[in-house]
Chains A and B, each alone.
Chain A
Amino acid sequence: MQLETILPVCSPAHKQSFVLCVVAMCRAVPINDLIYRASQQSDKLHALSTMLTQELGSEAFPIDRVLACHTSSLQTPTDKEQALQVSESDLLSLARSLLQAWSDPLEVLSSSTNVLPYSAQSTLSKTIQKMQEHSKDLKDGLDILSSKMGPAAQTITSLPFIQTNEIGQDKITKLLSCFRRDSHKIDSFLKVLRCRAANMQPQVC
């Protein structure tokens, strides 16, 4: 009997997430723990991006009037009331979409560090690498989580990143600013989600 028949929730498309999914299912990791763990990862991810912008100098990161991120087309809540009205599945879907949208740009960023002044290069490449790792971990965790939460959570909005041949320094700083914001969104959604889950420890929420 194949595992897929036993655990139809887990999609065998990606081996690693499939394994994680199977493991999670078999071990019946409670959702609360999964969400908590995911929120920790997203917190770390955003902290890294904040640290990066601060180290490279805040003057390099003007928040433009029009911050045209490639993820701007995704509709996200703009205040607290809106945010608290979003369903859990939608929250998860938004988080996953944003996360997915950044896997390519991070790759491009990691290979473009030579554009920046030399002193910033090592910091940038190290931090971007860490961000990629956390991003990957988070993605796997959210995949498992979404499989437990129903079909609405499975939707991922595609936000393609059009890669130009060369990325200039201003483009890099713009990308980093966009990533800082998007990682904050992901973090916020997951933290709302974790307090939304039933039986959350009272000291956390």
Chain B
Amino acid sequence: MMTKVGEVLLLLLLPAFVPHTDGTHYSLPGKPTELKCRSPEKETFTCWWKPGSDGGLPTTYALYYRKEGSDVVHECRDYHTAGKNSCFFNKNNTLIWVSYNITVVATNALGKTYSDPLDIDVVYIVQPHPPEKLEVTVMKDQGWPFLRVSWEPPRKADTRSGWITLIYELRVKLEDEESEWENHAAGQQKMFNIFSLRSGGTYLIQVRCKPDHGFWSEWSSTSYVKVPEYLHREKSVWILVLVFSAFILLLLTWLIHMNSHSLKHCMLPPVPGPKIKGFDKQLLKSGKSDEVFSALVVSDFPPTTSNYEDLLVEYLEVYMPEQQELMVDKGKDHDGCLKSIGLASDSDSGRGSCDSDNLLMDKSGAPKEEQQQQNQEGDQIGKETQGPKEAWEKEAMPCANEDVVSPDASSEKVKTWPSVFSPVTPYSPLDPHNSLEMHKQHCLSNTQFPPGSPSSDHYIKEALQSSYWEVCFNNNQPYPQTEVHPQLQAHSDRNISAVNDRNAPTGLLLPTRMTEYVEVQRVNEENKVLLHPIPSGHSREKACPWVGQRDDYSKVKGVDSDNGLLLQREVVEEESMEMAGAAESCYTSSIAFTTPKPTACSPVALPVQDERVLAVSGYVDTATVFSVHT
């Protein structure tokens, strides 16, 4: 009987020791993985692991740890509090600022398998529970609703004593499917306000926390809140805005309509029609081109040569009396432009007026020669005016002042204004008075003529349509005071008044010897011509720069009773291009223009010297001022 029971037992136990016929293989347990420990409040901590395969046999797991500085191996005492495959370390077993070396062992019938060890320090693995008691309320701020969110720290975290410092974060979302979470950092606060809500919308809110040096907690459970409707208030504002802007728009439209005409003028200024003499718009409109073109044929165009002589100014006499008072006749034309007598006025004759040409200064060798050449001038002038005129215009360009051009153009009186140069910058520092006259300046060219000329006379030549004339300067001494002043006299409706604002009128002096070229610097509002010597060879781009020590005939002091143009001579010592100190040693020279009388400026009056005259840069073109013919 006993043996039979034993046999049965053996039979029963046999399968346990005999491999199955289906091939199952028992093995060591798999290595436990993903060992992770966390502490929610820096007082306790829990470790979890993930078991490996069990090798077909029942497997048990054990956690062993060692503390820093000790070789004693301890085993976890609590495998249950934290759930399956976990180990819970309670307060008594938890030390901070001490590192633990933790290992998990899987054991089955066949053997043990150790996991990889994990070294932790409790203070570095803090991950709190989510915040609790999340509350959301809708509050109103002057009719506009907002959400007030409040919460409590997780129960176990001791923030009161400062043991744990928590930082919070919340997120908000509309109940829409397409909405995204909107995160807000709340610092250490336990309360937060959310504004700009959608009227009538439903919001979802969650909050989480993190210790100062640790891991974020999980998100708390969601709170739902519905925002009441407040649309009508917002709408009324928009309606008001719309009505107001519509009203403004209507007003603007009405205004524009009322002023459409003047607006049109303002925005689209009328284009000046053609002003060709003899051109008849009406004829053109009527479409009869023959009549139109025949109307253009004017009897006196092109001018025949006989006219040239009438228009020619043969010469201007300049002489320098000992003491000459400035005779200043203020011109009526205060914009400084001189009328050219005998020239047809044309309001839009372009550059031919004030801005273009220099006063032609010609120095001649001997007075007698000049006289002889005067008669030849006429023809020469006629031929040469066109050529040099452009040259002069070009030279005049850099110095031209736009301001001067415009009054010329606009005034019907002035046609050809002798070169209006406006070297604004150089002059302003020099003389404060001049600043008033900046807008009209004349440059008298003061370039040296071909050096061969022995005499040093200045001539102003009056050309034809451009109406240049020569002004004879006698300039023998560089220094002012007491020179015999040549006077240029001219008959003209308008007189050039000389500028004498720099010094007390000491009379107009014209040096008698040197031939220099003066630029008419400007003409001030009193029709004073300011003459300004042009250094030889100087680039014209500089607005009449001063070079070295020169006599400066930049200012016309006045016109005497004999229609002489009294120029003011100044000596300029140039230090720098800015002409800073040039205002100082100045004296006035006077140029008196005399028309047809060929009085001798000692040397002599002003014959034109052919190419030299015309080719030299810097001419005073005061053609329009004087009526050459008496």
Partner of A191, one of B99, B165, B190: B165
Partner of B162, one of A64, A184, A194: A194
The answer to the question of B195 belonging to the interface, with a C-beta cut-off of 8 Å to chain A, is: no
With A80-B42, A80-B163 known to touch, is A63 a contact of B120 (CB < 8 Å)?
A: yes
Nearest-neighbour CB distance to chain A for B340, whole angstroms, equals: 83
Partner of B119, one of A50, A63, A80, A185: A63
Taken together as a complex, chains A and B put the C-alpha atoms of A63 and B125 apart, in Å, by 14
The answer to the question of A43 belonging to the interface, with a C-beta cut-off of 8 Å to chain B, is: yes
Interface membership of chain A positions 29-59, coded 1 if the CB is closer than 8 angstroms to chain B and 0 otherwise: 0000000000000010011001000000000
With A78-B97, A195-B162 known to touch, is A62 a contact of B189 (CB < 8 Å)?
A: no
The answer to the question of A115 belonging to the interface, with a C-beta cut-off of 8 Å to chain B, is: no
The answer to the question of A9 belonging to the interface, with a C-beta cut-off of 8 Å to chain B, is: no
The answer to the question of A205 belonging to the interface, with a C-beta cut-off of 8 Å to chain B, is: yes
**Pair A205/B97 contact, Cβ less than 8 Å:** no
Interface membership of chain A positions 172-191, coded 1 if the CB is closer than 8 angstroms to chain B and 0 otherwise: 00000000010011011001
Taken together as a complex, chains A and B put the C-alpha atoms of A83 and B188 apart, in Å, by 22
With A50-B213, A203-B188, A203-B189 known to touch, is A63 a contact of B99 (CB < 8 Å)?
A: yes
Taken together as a complex, chains A and B put the C-alpha atoms of A124 and B66 apart, in Å, by 32
**Pair A195/B160 contact, Cβ less than 8 Å:** yes
| Interface size of A as a range | 20 to 34
List residues of B (384-406) whose CB comes within 8 Å of A's CBs.
Answer: none
Contacts of A185 in B (CB 8 A): 97
Partner of A204, one of B98, B99, B101, B188: B188
**Pair B97/A192 contact, Cβ less than 8 Å:** no
List residues of B (57-110) whose CB comes within 8 Å of A's CBs.
Answer: 66, 68-69, 91, 94-99, 101
Q: How many A-B contacts if CB must be within 8 Å?
A: 73
Partner of A181, one of B94, B95, B97, B160: B97
**Pair B213/A205 contact, Cβ less than 8 Å:** no
Taken together as a complex, chains A and B put the C-alpha atoms of A78 and B98 apart, in Å, by 8
Number of interface residues of B (CB under 8 A): 30
List residues of B (116-143) whose CB comes within 8 Å of A's CBs.
Answer: 119-121, 123-124
Partner of A46, one of B42, B96, B188, B213: B213
Contacts of A84 in B (CB 8 A): 161, 163
The answer to the question of B412 belonging to the interface, with a C-beta cut-off of 8 Å to chain A, is: no
The answer to the question of B212 belonging to the interface, with a C-beta cut-off of 8 Å to chain A, is: yes
Contacts of B68 in A (CB 8 A): 63-67
Taken together as a complex, chains A and B put the C-alpha atoms of A123 and B402 apart, in Å, by 66
- Interface residues, chain B, CB within 8 Å of chain A? 42-43, 66, 68-69, 91, 94-99, 101, 119-121, 123-124, 158-163, 165, 188-190, 212-213
Given contacts A184-B97, A184-B123, A184-B213, 10 further A-B contacts (CB under 8 A): A43-B212, A64-B99, A65-B99, A78-B97, A79-B94, A80-B163, A188-B123, A192-B162, A192-B163, A205-B159
